[in-house]
Amino acid sequence: MRTSRIALSTALVAVIAASAVGCTTTDDTETIEVYTPELTISDPWVKAVDDGMTGVFGEFANETDQEVHIIGASTDAAAMVELHETVDGVDGSMMMQEVHGGFTVAPGETLTLEPGGLHLMLMGVVEPILPGDEIAVTLEFAGGATEEFTATAKEYSGANEEYTGDGDEE
Ligand SMILES: [Cu+2]
């Protein structure tokens, strides 16, 4: 009797385990795999410019359940990309400066990059970026993951902030 009872409970456990796997396959997979940061990017665009510096803007939504931390970005369209914020200068004008800690997007939050606010600053634009042009930009996340998106160039005449960095600004 003892032997058959053990056999029965073993079978029961097996059934429960099988049904659990059947119900939660997705969750199990996500738990096992290394978490990959990802942002849902809407309306990415870049300000058309002949040379020098320009900005990349858009809506970056974090639809995951973990914080996404952007630590850098790059593009073939420019020599360097910095993460910038816009602040009030001492003389009342708008000034831009690098955000050394990067951009953090909490779960469920949307990071808005816009003229006069946070933006990706392209420095040393390689060739003129004309309205309608598309440039590929790669975001770098803490931990080493990356995400590429395409920004469409458009004419924009506002937000001519000065740059406070010690780079080769004009
Ligand atoms: Cu800037």
pLDDT digits (tens, 9 = 90+) for 114-127: 999 999 999 999 99
- Tens of pLDDT, residue by residue over 45-76, are 999 999 999 999 999 999 999 999 999 999 99
Ligand 1 centroid to 156 CA: how many Å?
14
Distance 78 CA to ligand 1 centre (A): 13
> Is domain 40-156 given the CATH code 2.60.40.1890 in the classification?
yes
- d(CA 45, CA 103) in angstroms, rounded, equals 18
Cα of 135 from ligand 1 centre, angstroms: 18
C-alpha dist (Å) from residue 45 to 16, 33, 40, 125, 163:
51, 32, 14, 15, 20
Which tokens go with 5?
């009872």
Query: Looking at residues 25-36, what average pLDDT do you find?
Result: 59
Q: What is the pLDDT of residues 130-169, one digit of tens each?
A: 999 999 999 999 999 999 999 999 999 876 667 666 544 4
Amino acid code (one letter) for 97 = Q
The one-letter amino acid at 38: E
Whether the per-residue pLDDT at 105 is higher than 90: the answer is yes
Query: How far is the centre of ligand 1, averaged over its atoms, from the C-alpha of 76 (Å)?
Result: 18
Quote the ligand 1 centre to 56 CA distance (angstroms).
9
At 90, is the pLDDT very low, low, confident or very high (cuts 50, 70, 90)? confident
Does pLDDT of 8 surpass 90?
no
* Sequence ranges of the domains in the chain: 2-32, 40-156
> Which amino acid, one-letter code, is at 6?
I
Q: What is the pLDDT of residue 92?
A: 84
Pairing of strands 53-61, 78-88: unpaired
CA atoms within 13 A on the CB side of 54: 27
Answer whether residue 93 shows pLDDT above 50.
Answer: yes
Confidence of residue 99 (pLDDT cuts 50, 70, 90): very high
What gap in Å lies between CA 47 and CA 58, rounded to an integer?
11
Ligand 1 centroid to residue 62 C-alpha, Å: 23
- Alpha carbon of 81 to ligand 1 centroid (Å): 9
In angstroms, what is the span from residue 64 Cα to ligand 1's centroid? 28
Average pLDDT estimate for 90-109: 93
18 pLDDT band, cuts 50/70/90, is very low
Q: Pairing state of beta strands 94-98 and 103-105? A: unpaired
CA of 32 relative to ligand 1 center, distance in Å: 39
